[in-house]
Amino acid sequence: MAADALLSAMARAASVRLMIFDVDGILTDGSLQYGADGELIKRFNVLDGHGIKLLQQCGIVTAIISARSSAIVARRAADLGVAHVAQGVHDKRTAFEALCAATATGAQDCGFLGDDWVDLPVLTRVGFAASVPAAHAEVRSRAHYVTQAAGGHGAAREVCDLILRAQGRYEAALAPYLA
């Protein structure tokens, strides 16, 4: 990413008060595995989870909006303390608008990390739009920031760290771990 594009993304990330994550291809690698009994299996990255917790500790509200519905996503969100979870949502714009209303947050103060066309109605409305390298080209071309890390492999953590750095909170969040 060019230096001027990174500075622009950082300026946008500095305003984030509500960070929203898609799930498949973002918090997971996008693969769907089914067990012998038909149960859906998803893998989540612990670095991503810790990044979400760091945002929360710094006062940034976190949320999930996903087109697919899964009990494992509800469990992961609960484990991370993500209170705002909308699953089985095919009209993400409506879910986004409801989330903004529920949290009294304007679209320009929101960030979103998504990877496919279903994410575009949110991605094109937020102040800080992020995506991953394997995202659809239409999504990548509209993102303010594309991660180096792949979805499910630290991409969410990379975005969380970027937000913390942009807001001047990174060093304070890190300090307790160095004491």
Ranges of beta strands (E only) in the chain are 18-21, 33-34, 40-41, 61-65, 84-86, 110-113, 128-131, 145-146
- The pLDDT score that the predictor gives to residue 42 is 87
User: Which residues of the chain fall below pLDDT 50?
Assistant: none
- The pLDDT score that the predictor gives to residue 73 is 94
- The pLDDT score that the predictor gives to residue 136 is 98
Q: Which domains does the chain have, with CATH numbers?
A: 3-178 (3.40.50.1000)
- The pLDDT score that the predictor gives to residue 179 is 87
Whole-structure pTM value: 0.95
